[in-house]
Amino acid sequence: MELISPTEWAKDLVQAIQDWTYLAARSIGNIFRHPRYVSDTLQQADLIGVGSLPIVVLTGFFTGGVLALNAARTLEQYGSLSLTGQLVSISMVRELGPTLAGLMVAGRNASGMASELGSMKVTEQIDAMRALGTDPSKKLVTPRVVATIIMLFFLTIICDFFGLTGGFAVSQLGLHLDAHQYWNNAYQTLEFGDVIIGLIKPLLFGFLVATIGCYYGLTSRGGTQGVGRATTQAVVAASILILAVNYFTSQLLLYLLK
Amino acid sequence: MPAPVAPAESPGRTTDGQPQSAIVLEDVSISFEGNTVLDGISFSLERGETKALLGVAGAGKSTILKLTMGLVKPDHGNIWVLGQEVSAMKEEDLFELRRKLGMVFQESALFDSLTVRDNVAYRLIEEGVPEDKIQKRVEEALRFVELEHTLNMFPGELSGGMRRRVAIARAIVDQPEILLYDSPTGGLDPVTSTTIIELIVKQRDVYHTSSLLVSHRLQDAFTMATHYFDRSKNRMVPVNGAPIDTRTSFLVLRDGKVIFDGSAHELATSRDEYIREYIS
Ligand SMILES: Nc1ncnc2c1ncn2[C@@H]1O[C@H](COP(=O)(O)OP(=O)(O)O)[C@@H](O)[C@H]1O
Ligand SMILES: [Mg+2]
């Protein structure tokens, strides 16, 4: 293994961030330019949205369930078991729904994008596309970014809902709470700000997942091994960034919405 | 109001603005990771002319084609294609020009998740050509390379020679003004190679497309220079003293420089030691 000097490493990192920023900015700019690849976008939306639905539903359901289980143990000590719905609801909508849906889509689709575009890159299909007069940024990147942002938005709502359902299942079957009370509690506690935070996050996460997946794919080199490496790096980078950005958006939005 | 300034005369354009040469490279240099690959390359390709680029592996032949397409940028020097200065254009502005060029990549670079039909039709679909026209043009292009029966197959299901022919069909479907062939016979058996050379000669003599052709087999390039496509016989035949100009020339690269640029005859009678060894 060759050692890289810290300055070399820092230079590469700055260069990578710069390249990613350019790719990301262009992917959004393309939305306002011709040609627009609507059918490619729909195809990606199907792949990302419909494809990720089962995994997001299951993740949401079980997380909601385990939240209720743990919340109940603490709340019971204070005799306020009835607040279970409230706890599940706040955690799911504000933090866990967006984060979990984001992480699931990162695992499934950032990797998929990196490996698909990476294979195209190392077999010169990207160059062939450019040579045929098509802008890969318009044909490949923008449809993925747009589709991921829109689909992750809805997947998050679905994840939230199934999280609440999971919490409800546990409170009904395990804790024997009143159904009406659970849902009422869950609904009443949500403030406008919570919902806004919970719905802005998936837009950011979707943008991150798709641009990072495409970036690693389009910059991969070194044959099939290089594509494998790009795929892993894309998932790692997207996941870490989702968690980091989640923290900072929570901070920021809580401050702004005060 | 100031008088309109006449466009500066440039090697790619005459004073009346008409493109003169198909391709002009002027003092072009490029290096990758500190290795100088091309070092002050200049040559031009006239309209309707075919030029074979020769040189050992790694000499920078593919790089010249990619520079011409604007897929990579030179570190130094200027490149004009059909009168436009590719080396000074932004990526966004190059797509328009690239549609007038066709390129056959060294490894074919077919879209492996599209069928042969969709690969060949790619450019037409992008340009929004009506479906019935696309079908007709695709069939025509595939008939040209004698692969009509592979319409619904995927590139992975074809042999190397067939993939190369599909790549040619994809490049010619829109009848580009310039064709760039990267080692079209590389790694193929002699029979398949001859088939492909015949196709290229046919394209040259039937449509008079200007082309740059990379070859590491000198024999192929000589065959092209000494044969023409006889339309009545529908095959390639030797010139053999007939008053036919195949308009095919040669360019030899060595250590990043052009060491020869001229006709087949000049190449065969060259006194340069390296060239004599190369062609022997
Ligand atoms: N994208 C690239 N990155 C780094 N090196 C490159 C790249 N493209 C070409 N090279 C290098 O440039 C040299 C010439 O390559 P190429 O033009 O493909 O040669 P040829 O086609 O004549 O065999 C080779 O040494 C190759 O390693
Ligand atoms: Mg090459």
Q: Tell me the β-bridge partners of B53.
A: B214, B251
Residue A124: list chain B partners with CB under 8 A.
Answer: 105-107, 109
Q: How, if at all, do strands B35-46 and B50-54 pair?
A: unpaired
Rounded to the nearest angstrom, the distance between the alpha carbon of B65 and the centre of ligand 1 is 11
The model's pLDDT over B211-223, given as tens digits with 9 standing for 90+, comes to 999 987 888 888 9
Contact B110 A125 (CB under 8 A): yes
Residue B187 has pLDDT above 90, yes or no: no
The model's pLDDT over B99-143, given as tens digits with 9 standing for 90+, comes to 999 999 999 999 999 999 999 999 999 999 999 999 999 999 999
Residue B30 DSSP SS3: strand
pLDDT of the residue at B11: 53
Q: How many Cα atoms within 13 Å fall on the side-chain side of residue B219?
A: 6
Residues with CB under 5 A from ligand 2 (ion): B 62
Residue B101: list chain A partners with CB under 8 A.
Answer: 131
Structure tokens at A53: 């639905």
Q: Which domains are present in chain B?
A: 50-64+100-279 (3.40.50.300)
DSSP state of B229: E
ipTM: 0.89
Residue A121: nearest ligand to its CA?
1
User: Rounded CA gap, A84 and A93, in Å?
Assistant: 14
**Model's pTM, two decimal places?**
0.90
Contact A133 B69 (CB under 8 A): no
pLDDT of the residue at B7: 44
- Average per-residue pLDDT for chain A: 92
For A120, nearest residue in chain B (alpha carbons): B111
The model's pLDDT over A32-74, given as tens digits with 9 standing for 90+, comes to 988 889 999 999 999 999 999 999 999 999 999 999 999 888 8
Task: Please indicate if any CB of chain A lies within 8 Å of the CB of B123.
Answer: yes
Asked if residues B138 and B120 have their Cβ atoms less than 8 Å apart, the reply is yes
Cα of A25 vs its chain's centroid, Å: 18
Match 């979707």 to its residue by tokens: A206
Contact A124 B109 (CB under 8 A): yes
Asked if residues A101 and A159 have their Cβ atoms less than 8 Å apart, the reply is yes
Among A180-189, A200-209, B144-153, top mean pLDDT goes to: A200-209
pLDDT of the residue at B9: 47
Contact B98 A124 (CB under 8 A): no
The model's pLDDT over A242-253, given as tens digits with 9 standing for 90+, comes to 999 999 998 887
pLDDT band at B6 (very low <50, low <70, confident <90, very high): very low
Residues 6+ apart with CB under 8 A from B232: none
The rounded percent of chain B whose pLDDT value lies above 90 is 65
Asked if residues B181 and B206 have their Cβ atoms less than 8 Å apart, the reply is no
Cα of A44 vs its chain's centroid, Å: 15
Which member of A119, A128, A134 has the closest CB to residue B126?
A134
Ligand 1 atom nearest B63 alpha carbon = 17
Tell me the DSSP string of B32-101: ETTEEEEEEEEEEEETT-EEEEE--TTSSHHHHHHHHHTSS--SEEEEEETTEEGGGS-HHHHHHHHTTE
User: Rounded CA gap, A144 and A46, in Å?
Assistant: 11
pLDDT of the residue at A1: 54
pLDDT band at B188 (very low <50, low <70, confident <90, very high): confident
Rounded to the nearest angstrom, the distance between the alpha carbon of B60 and the centre of ligand 1 is 6
